[in-house]
Amino acid sequence: MATVALTLDTFEKTILEGGTVFVDFWAGWCGPCMQFAPHYEAAAEANPDLTFAKVDTEDQQQLAAAMNITSIPTIMAFKDGIGVFAQAGALPRPMLDELISQVKALDMEQVRADLDKQEAEEASA
């Protein structure tokens, strides 16, 4: 599956309905973004069960600002609508593949329980 371009209008729906979604925030003038792009495209082709999306930060400045993108490339991962990873910098292909494996293996019941516990602790503090 090829990557999909996200906009301010499609971002939330894609994250909430997409199962596991990886998002690459990039720009055409960014050298590291251009170097990372073939690895990201290859990962998308190798994992058709996942959604791989891209956000052009030049075209989607409001979305990039809303997601607090301060460096590009930045890759984010969402699973079942929950952000589970965010990191600036181009990942080498082996590290991208490892990230994909780790996100696939996440126990979302445990993630939700941890989030609930964290919210309860913050509310009582």
* CATH number assigned to the domain comprising residue 74: 3.40.30.10
* Alpha carbon distance 8, 100 (integer Å): 24
State the pLDDT at residue 80.
Answer: 94
Structural domain that includes position 53? 4-124
State the pLDDT at residue 18.
Answer: 73
State the pLDDT at residue 1.
Answer: 60
The active-site residue out of 21, 33, 43, 100 is 33
How many separate domains does the chain show?
Answer: 1
**Could you read off the pLDDT of 11-26 as tens digits, one per residue?**
999 999 879 999 999 9
State the pLDDT at residue 6.
Answer: 96
Active site residue 33: yes
Active site residue 121: no
The active-site residue out of 15, 23, 30, 64 is 30
Task: Please report, rounded to a whole number, the percentage of residues in the chain having pLDDT higher than 90.
Answer: 90
User: What order of strands is seen across the sheet that includes strand 74-79?
Assistant: 4-5, 51-56, 20-26, 74-79, 82-88
